Amino acid sequence: MRMVLFAGLLALPLLATACGDDEDTADTDDPRRAQIGGVAEAAIGAYASAGPGTLFDYLSTEAVEQCSTDELVEALADEPVPTGFKQLKGVDFDGDIAHATITIATKDGDEDVDWRYVEEDGNWRISDMPGLENCG
């Protein structure tokens, strides 16, 4: 009986490791993730309510230098128009760059989109998104 109890006690750390936080759970505790989610939600909300030109306020310095507001509107003309923000599905960080998968609502249903962000002066800005490659 003592051997079984001893073996069980030895197995506890292994079980705790196996059942511990995985990368996705740990990622939700990262404050940068919340910042990315806030920017995504605000940008998509602005786009949904006032059009694609409002995204200009959320773009990185590099994207702004490559693209005027009118060019941005034209570049996004063939992209699905969001009707709202659904969720931030995941974020991968590589230094001051983040790749995020965001679920947006559209008139045709939910769609996952991939956006890239760059940190500028402590703020996360959109540096790439579907359609932005057609700008400038």
Of 104, 103, 121, the closest CA to residue 60 belongs to 121
Give the chain's domains with CATH numbers: 31-131 (3.10.450.50)
- Confidence at residue 123, expressed as pLDDT on a 0 to 100 scale: 96
pLDDT of 125 reads 98
- Tell me which residue has tokens 């983040």: 98
* Residue 102 or residue 135, greater confidence: 102
Taking 80 as the threshold, does the pLDDT of residue 39 lie above it?
A: yes
Q: Please state the rounded mean pLDDT for residues 22-45.
A: 81
What is the pLDDT at residue 29?
85
Mind listing the pLDDT tens digit for each residue in 61-75? 999 999 999 999 999
Question: Given this model, what pLDDT does residue 27 score?
Answer: 58
